[in-house]
Structure 1
């Protein structure tokens, strides 16, 4: 989203990124480097889950009313596309771009009714989008198979590739932060510490690292952070590095010896993924180990930049 908003702003568009308001954040500001506006929408509905529908309706009304006169909406997931469809109903000239950061109807940890609802919405109204953007060849093929007959106008593949930039020469920020010398072999998991990303499996391997020079490093945050912290306390070869600013990620990644893409293919969105961490490892110049994920394996094998693991 940051790259899209910055690029559009650079090319003369007046961009506003709309998000939910959170405490201690301003309701309106300008991004310090991208120059685009950020508007955070406050919600007054009770936060309890039983008020979820009321909260959703409040959000739809506020965003639609505030931004219905825009020329185009770039909708960054299925929920945003649903709000965009409501706005387009009030102003048919509004153009929508549906940016699917995942296989939206096949996402991890989503209830069956929500997945069915997303597919129902896509089948009936995906033709309202001027363009659909997907992140992997397999997701592109699946969307073509499902929705070209439904009038989908155009689909584009845009991978999650970070902006190219030079690395800091002879810098070892990760090793310095963790107190590891150059002899340590660092296997790096970076990204969300959440379920079905292989975090639990990697932590379970911790006892096998004792007596070796291999150090398992997790860089990120999420619901499984306590699990990783406990493992780091119990095992000298397991480490937790807090998330670092986006502009510093590649410098930390380049300090590792191998990147880990351990996503479990528990849903089609995960099976067909091409995650940021894969491209970050590639740009950082380190090899990657990937699970049985067809798009990841295809890329790794095509360029000889890693290996598949079972």
Structure 2
């Protein structure tokens, strides 16, 4: 049986894109996964890396290296890189999969003569370009990683066409697009309730996503609308701010997050999945996130701002509404036009689109490349 190594500097168990790779491969390959714990529930060998913790002195040392363009010294002395190298060196695999650019140099170092597939979850050189410190320290570093290492990968995949085009423009690569879509959940649209429109947003509580904008949308909507947030509390201060902003509006609730595998079934009872993401950086401008495809798999209507990658899918499949701008009032204006009948029609359209917009389709493309490489 062929041996495949998957490397990701992420919490593997809650990283949906990495877990889809695991599910795709675990039955027919001997899979070793290396990343942050706890161990995922899968038929794999798991090598846990300790999540990096650094003192102020260590952070200052890293910053000096980045400012001095000592990128090799910075990268190869990162704890997760050192520990990953120690854990894997000397072992042989038929294919290595590096998730995100940060994992690619190590995967190439470990590969020997084996091919390496790199999955770029974001456009790395501009990932947090809205933060000046990141632009100064990490922007040039990520550009150098891409310039040096991307051409050495046997295959590159990424999440959407806009990001693929940007990589191609700057680094002479030709990424394959594999969407962040879950497997087809085979659900039926839930019935609408006359006079009620139940909105849902799920994901992580991260300040840069400006989730407060969706609370502000509710200020412009009539009493038909309710909004539930189902958020993973990755930032306690962010959650406190959101709850404070929503206080006084009993139409807005915060409900417990559920495991990744249960998201679509849990939100199936709602009417509209809502996501208003201001384009504060390149990746947000071209966002095509898991949650859009989870809305579709849950057979919901969709309400979004004019994010081009998401808007293309919503409009092509007649799934919902796209606001004219990222202002909360603009999305509210689009939502106000929805009726019970139009929501039901969008839910039916999501049901028709769900099979095509699933990992069964994207996974076939990825599996074809993997089979070719091994």
The bucket for the TM-score relative to the shorter chain is 0.7 to 0.9
Matched, 1:228 2:242: yes
CA-CA distance at 1:214 after TM superposition: 0.9
C-alpha separation in 1, matches of 2:85 and 2:257 = 34
Residue by residue over 1:109-150, the C-alpha shift from the partner in whole angstroms, topping out at 9 and shown as x without a partner, is: 6601212211121112211111111100111111122222xx
Paired residue secondary structure (2:183): coil
What TM-score do you get using the length of structure 2 for normalisation? 0.69
Distance 1:168 1:231, change over 3 A: farther
C-alpha separation in 2, matches of 1:283 and 1:240 = 22
Matched, 1:5 2:22: yes
Match of 1:175? none
Residue by residue over 1:39-64, the C-alpha shift from the partner in whole angstroms, topping out at 9 and shown as x without a partner, is: 21237x86324324489533222211
Match of 2:141? 117
Matched, 1:192 2:215: no
Match of 1:76? 99
Match of 2:170? 146
Match of 1:40? 48
- Runs of 5+ unmatched residues, structure 2: 1-17, 63-73, 326-374
Instruction: Give 1:148-167 correspondences, 5 Å limit.
Output: 148=172, 152=173, 154-167=174-187
Instruction: Give 1:78-93 correspondences, 5 Å limit.
Output: 78-85=101-108, 87-88=109-110, 92-93=112-113
Q: Provide the aligned C-alpha RMSD in A.
A: 2.7
Paired residue secondary structure (2:182): coil
Instruction: Give 1:216-255 correspondences, 5 Å limit.
Output: 216-221=227-232, 222-223=234-235, 224-255=238-269
Distance 1:248 1:40, change over 3 A: same
Distance 1:125 1:301, change over 3 A: same
CA-CA distance at 1:37 after TM superposition: 2.2
Matched, 1:289 2:296: no
Residue by residue over 1:132-175, the C-alpha shift from the partner in whole angstroms, topping out at 9 and shown as x without a partner, is: 11100111111122222xxx3x5211001111123389799xxx
**Contact kept in structure 2, 1:171 and 1:251, CA below 8 Å:** no
**Contact kept in structure 1, 2:199 and 2:227, CA below 8 Å:** yes
**Contact kept in structure 2, 1:196 and 1:263, CA below 8 Å:** no
Distance 1:63 1:232, change over 3 A: same
Match of 1:177? none
C-alpha separation in 1, matches of 2:54 and 2:144 = 27
Match of 1:106? 126
CA-CA distance at 1:244 after TM superposition: 0.4
**Contact kept in structure 1, 2:199 and 2:225, CA below 8 Å:** yes
Residue by residue over 1:40-99, the C-alpha shift from the partner in whole angstroms, topping out at 9 and shown as x without a partner, is: 1237x86324324489533222211221324232111122123324x24xx532432211
Paired residue secondary structure (1:93): coil
What TM-score do you get using the length of structure 1 for normalisation? 0.82
Paired residue secondary structure (1:186): strand
CA-CA distance at 1:10 after TM superposition: 1.4
- Runs of 5+ unmatched residues, structure 1: 173-180
Distance 1:200 1:233, change over 3 A: closer
Matched residues, number: 284
Match of 1:215 among 200, 204, 226: 226
Matched, 1:57 2:74: no
Paired residue secondary structure (2:204): coil
Match of 1:17? 33
Paired residue secondary structure (1:220): strand
Paired residue secondary structure (2:254): strand
Bigger mean CA deviation after superposition, 69-78 or 226-235: 226-235
C-alpha separation in 2, matches of 1:46 and 1:200 = 30
Paired residue secondary structure (1:265): coil
- Choose between structure 1 and 2 for higher RCO, CA contacts under 8 A separated by at least 6 residues: 2
